[in-house]
Amino acid sequence: MRSTFFILCFLCLCVGVSAQKPKHLITVENTSKFNRSELVRVSWADVLKVYPTIDTANFQVINKATAGQLPYQLEKLGGAEVRFLLLQVAIKAKSKLELQLSKGKPNPPVTKTYGRYVPERKDDFAWENDKIAFRMYGKALEGTNENAHGMDVWVKRTSDMVINKRYKVDNYHKDHGDGLDYYSVGTTLGAGDMAPYLADTVWYLGNYRSYKVLDNGPLRTSFQLIYDEASANGIKIKVTKQISIDAGSQLNKVENTYSFNEQTALPVAVGLATRKEEKKDVFTDAKAGILSYWEPVHGADGITGVGAIFLKTPIQIKQKHNQLLGIGVAKANQPIIYYTGAAWNKAGEITDSVQWFKYIRDFNEKLKRPLRVKVK
């Protein structure tokens, strides 16, 4: 009888220990030769299958190896329901990471991405992460002597969000200690905007008319910019541009959807503004869909590198109209996806063209070998 009692106690203890084992696991695998630090996207539907009682306001993501919490974001893509769980992971080459979902209050998030409409500055839309900042120009700027066409860069050397502070100071063309806006866009596509390319010409479709914020940090900010219909070489074209920026990345993901009736495909160009120096520090690879440029030094302001990567390759590459152009093809009502962005030497992380061109090549390799995610 006594032995039976001890056996029952032992079985109860085993059941208790078993019940404490992690039941809701996310495995992230890095099959590439690079150490990776980036966001991974986990289907929320897959999470609900293994953890149907999860409370979106009260759960943690725990690294099993360290027992530390991982930052995360619930991505809704402009809707009311959660679509994806975004996780910020650091994982070594050729290794796996096991993460546990458990009930509990998460650590307060640190905002690493942010974007907003700026009506006080003629309809700018500005966005940033902990590395770099950008803006696009709105309709209110058209017809003024300040108007420009492409994507602007605001360089920074702080992980803090700077957009609101700079618009309040107004004099953001001067470095007050955390960076500035010295990049010149002019009549170009700037730091990687896209426009139709017809009759050997870039056709600017005007500045954006309206916007929609889809998600706004802390780890990913995404939004849409909607443009009025415009004519390019006799073709009437409308475009919606969807842009997202992740914490820790120098590059934006851009998904442009063009609608047009006269044909089934539309040549489009991504442009990087080039400067007047004769020797240009450029790296391109048409087969890999890469164009990148390291600008000349701009006095005390420093040096900006810009670059872009097409997902669909190969592309054509040209240097004309004061810009380096990568030319691809957009199909009607189907997104054409590419990545574009910039780095500043005075931020201290990417300080010369060799490092910048390597960053672009490595980024492209990582796109080809995404982290593998399983929920069980």
Q: Tokens 């992460």 belong to which residue? A: 129
Q: Which amino acid is at 167?
A: Y
| For residue 20, pLDDT beyond 80 | no
Q: How far apart are the first and last CA of the chain?
A: 41
| For residue 208, pLDDT beyond 50 | yes
Quick one: how far is CA 40 from the chain centroid?
A: 12
Kindly state the average pLDDT of the residues 234-249: 97
Residue 325, phi then psi, degrees to nearest 5:
-115, 135
Residue 5 has what pLDDT? 43
Nearby residues of 143 by Cβ (< 8 Å), 6 or more positions away: none
Distance CA 30, CA 33 (A): 8
Q: Can you say whether the dihedral through the CA atoms of 349, 354, 357, 361 is positive or negative?
A: negative
Is residue 333 left, alpha or beta, with left meaning phi > 0 and alpha meaning psi from -120 to 50? left
Distance CA 362, CA 309 (A): 11
pLDDT band, very low/low/confident/very high, at 169 (cuts 50, 70, 90): confident
Distance CA 109, CA 186 (A): 37
- Name the pairing type of β-strands 316-320 and 323-331: antiparallel
pLDDT digits (tens, 9 = 90+) for 32-64: 999 999 999 999 999 999 999 999 999 999 999
pLDDT digits (tens, 9 = 90+) for 256-300: 999 998 778 999 999 999 998 777 899 999 999 999 999 999 999
Decide: 375 and 47 in contact? Cβ < 8 Å.
yes
Nearby residues of 72 by Cβ (< 8 Å), 6 or more positions away: 61, 85, 86, 87, 88, 106, 219
**Please, what are the domains in the chain?**
24-109 (2.60.40.1180), 113-368 (2.70.98)
pLDDT digits (tens, 9 = 90+) for 103-145: 999 999 999 999 999 999 999 999 999 999 999 999 999 989 8
Distance CA 343, CA 321 (A): 23
Q: Can you say whether the dihedral through the CA atoms of 39, 179, 136, 168 is positive or negative?
A: positive
Distance CA 202, CA 194 (A): 9
Residue 4 has what pLDDT? 46
Residue 281 has what pLDDT? 95
Decide: 288 and 299 in contact? Cβ < 8 Å.
no
The SS3 of residue 160 is coil
Nearby residues of 145 by Cβ (< 8 Å), 6 or more positions away: none
Residue 12 has what pLDDT? 45
In terms of Cα–Cα distance, which of 37, 42, 38 is closest to 61? 42
Decide: 113 and 221 in contact? Cβ < 8 Å.
yes
Q: Which amino acid is at 15?
A: V
Both structure tokens of 372: 């593998």
Q: Can you say whether the dihedral through the CA atoms of 169, 171, 177, 183 is positive or negative?
A: positive
Quick one: how far is CA 159 from the chain centroid?
A: 16
In terms of Cα–Cα distance, which of 192, 193, 222 is closest to 113? 222
Cα within 13 Å of Cα(77), Cβ side: 10
| For residue 188, pLDDT beyond 70 | yes
Strand partners, 272: 191, 324
Distance CA 18, CA 264 (A): 59
